[in-house]
Amino acid sequence: KYLGTSTNSSGFFQLKGVDEEATLVISGVSIETTEFRLRGSSTVLIRASRKIVESEEVEVIHTGYQRIPQERVTGAFTQISAQTLERSNSFNLKDRLEGLVPGMYFEPQFDEDQSPNAERSRSIVIRGVGTFGNNNPLIVVDGAPFYSEVIDPWTLINPADVESITVLKDAAAASIWGSQAANGVIVINTKKGSVRKGAPMIDVSLDYLVQPAPNLSNIPWASSKEAVEI
């Protein structure tokens, strides 16, 4: 036979017709389930522990305009974390993105003579060309679009300052950025300092390149036989 009741606002409850050797089971939404044997007692004091519920971490996507959970995103996107960017030791953020985003490739730009040896830079193309003229995707840094015909925005962004990058690939981004999203949108979010108690914490990353000085007096010239083989 099972009997049940609930407590009032002060935590008091009353049960009638309970066996002296019965076991009370106390449960609730915000407390841990506790079992208590009466052992002939008619008045009991039960202390319950507060239940700690750990919520699962929800992955948040940055659209440049707002932060929304991943399940609410309707378009195609790729999110890149700072840990992924750190796998490359390039000093340019654009070079670190190469090979990380499906559907995004780097198209070389040449000078007027169209010579491959005159390669000047590489433009980013996401899922093909969508407009005439400037085919570069829209770059949004911390919610602000970056426009410049003179300065390359990639040279102004320190890769060590980037927290995450979200690449919006399809027409769903047009609902946020309009026709500017015709060639895709690259949303860059930089790291921010957090207010916390205790001693300050500073992360430092160091990249260095070592190249020996050339010895011009000891140039390994190829012999006639080696030149023919080459």
Q: For residues 140 and 136, give the distance between their C-alpha atoms in angstroms, rounded to a whole number.
A: 12
pLDDT confidence of residue 119: 43
Other beta carbons less than 10 A from residue 106's beta carbon: 15
Other beta carbons less than 10 A from residue 63's beta carbon: 21
Phi, psi (rounded to 5 degrees) for 187: -100, 120
Contacts of 150 (CB under 8 A, 6+ apart): none
164 contacts 189 by C-beta, under 8 angstroms: yes
| Positions in the chain short of pLDDT 50 | 116-120
Alpha helices in 44-110 (DSSP H): 82-85, 93-97
- Pairing mode, strands 138-141 and 185-190: parallel
Cβ-in-10-Å burial (0-12, 13-18, 19+) of 162 comes to buried
pLDDT tens digits, residue range 167-187? 888 777 777 888 777 888 888
Q: Which of 47, 14, 45, 44 is nearest to 32 (CA)?
A: 47
pLDDT confidence of residue 224: 92
Q: How far is CA 11 from CA 8, 80, 93, 101, in A?
A: 5, 50, 60, 57
pLDDT confidence of residue 225: 93
Contacts of 119 (CB under 8 A, 6+ apart): 108, 109, 110
Write down the residue that tokens 């959970």 correspond to.
69
Q: How far is CA 82 from CA 66, 93, 160, 161, 167, in A?
A: 19, 11, 8, 9, 14
pLDDT confidence of residue 172: 75
